[in-house]
Amino acid sequence: MNSSLSTSQNNELNLVVPLGGNSFITKKSVNSQAAVTTNGWINWSSASEVFSVYFRINTPGILKLYGYLNVTDNSSSMIQCTLSGNEPHIIKITGSKRKEYLLGQCHITKVGYVKLDVQRISKTGHVFANVQELFINGSAVDQNTVFVKNNECNMFYWGRRGPSIHLNFYLDETCKENVEWFYSELTVPKGCDPIGSFFMANGFGEGYFGIQVNSETERKILFSVWSPCETDDPNCIPEGQRIKCLRKGSGVQVCEFGCEGSGGQSFLRYTWKSETTYKFLLHAQPNTTNASTTYTAYFYAPELSEWLLIASFSRPCIQTWLTNLHSFVENFIPETGHITRKAYFDNQWIRNTEGQWKPLHKANFTGDETARKEHRLDYDGGIENGRFYLRHCGFFIDNSANLDTIFSVQPKDKAPEIHFDLLGI
């Protein structure tokens, strides 16, 4: 479904907001079958469901929302539409023929995201309404109104996941070469860790290392290394280009991954907690004998007061020290893309082959295509209390950072105290 641009008789711009890329079920019962699909809302039959639609207005003024709705033959339903917290608008829908209904109207006083909540009141048939898209117009609507406009390149999926954002660390010219170790710390504030969150602490040119929220009951420490073979199907990787696990820690599972590049993956199920600072340590060792590099990841669990080995992977066809050091936050579950995530990234250090520690104190703030092409603008980054932070999703309006902004913190003066002899290198 494409977003159409048309002009009404009073010269107002009419925009189509596809629900497949701009809406979420924000309240849902355990057994509900309701879903947001590329074609809109389906199985809307339970009294517990609330569908929410988001788009960003860039011009104060009048906003009007319409929908072409229908129900099944000889039935009717009553739904309630609430636009940005204003007085609810009650609508009665009748018949199987699609008809235009006014869903809400309000005066927008400031730039930012607008939210439309739609919920049931009553129905005589199986569903409350069949809805594919909304139409918006009014003096507040212009060509700078922000939402996911179409499903080109599977954008409904990526748009509902939300923008991924990164910190790309600058290395001092005196220590760019022979970076053997990368150390950092990560803290997630309370309430900023919904399901689908990936807080990636130690990223490098060939992989990534961080923590995830996989379900209400499962959390993981994840360490992955990409294969040099460029494919999304791990089964297509030639034997000579496969990532090999040399060793792994207690309880760690190792497998292959695909869909976003392919390679070797390791994870430890670990109930990490918000408001707790975790430490990440990454090691690289080029091997001249077989033209490969070994990457090893360690996770410091303050609950256990020790470093845990996650895994050690050998990557063929490359001999390198650590490069392209970065951190990021992303959401990997589209259904939770309306909930805000945030993490603090702090105390980044590198150590070269001479044993010299150097702090990393400057980073470039970047984003993926969802952010760069302005499908969504709910992202932010910067410095709080001397720490880098990244925040995204949730359709917040108080963001202030532009992409490609360079942030600097005061360099730390105390290097990490790590007993390398106890790591079993």
Give pLDDT tens digits for 247-301. 999 999 987 665 666 778 899 999 999 999 999 999 999 998 888 999 999 999 9
pLDDT of 423 reads 86
Domains of the chain: 5-150 (2.60.120.260), 162-422 (no CATH)
116 forms beta bridges with 53, 83
The mean pLDDT value for 324-343 works out to 98
In the block, residue with structure tokens 């004998």: 289
The mean pLDDT value for 56-70 works out to 92
**Which residues 6+ apart lie within 8 Å of 158 measured at CB?**
369, 370, 375
pLDDT of 389 reads 98
348 versus 41: the higher-pLDDT residue is: 348
pLDDT of 63 reads 96
Q: Which two tokens stand for residue 154?
A: 């599977």
Residue closest to 57 by CA, chosen among 30, 84, 93, 82? 84
Coil/strand/helix, residue 298: strand
Number of helices (H) and strands (E), helices first, in the chain? Answer: 3, 30
Give pLDDT tens digits for 111-141. 999 999 999 877 766 666 667 789 999 999 9
pLDDT of 125 reads 67
pLDDT category at 6 given cuts 50, 70, 90 is very low
Amino acid identity of 235?
N
Q: Tell how far CA 340 is from the center of its chain.
A: 9
The C-alpha atoms of residue 221 and residue 299 are separated, in whole angstroms, by 8
pLDDT of 265 reads 87
Dihedral angle over CA of 149, 153, 155, 158, nearest 10: -160
pLDDT of 66 reads 94
Coil/strand/helix, residue 177: coil
Q: Tell how far CA 164 is from the center of its chain.
A: 5
The C-alpha atoms of residue 331 and residue 197 are separated, in whole angstroms, by 5
Give pLDDT tens digits for 226-255. 887 676 666 667 777 788 999 999 999 987
The mean pLDDT value for 33-57 works out to 89
Residue closest to 151 by CA, chosen among 133, 164, 165, 138? 133
pLDDT category at 322 given cuts 50, 70, 90 is very high
Residue closest to 298 by CA, chosen among 345, 247, 263? 247
Give pLDDT tens digits for 203-218. 999 999 999 999 999 9
In the block, residue with structure tokens 């020290």: 321
pLDDT of 252 reads 96
Give pLDDT tens digits for 156-183. 999 999 999 999 999 977 666 799 999 9
| Average pLDDT of every residue of the chain | 90
pLDDT of 174 reads 62
pLDDT category at 84 given cuts 50, 70, 90 is confident
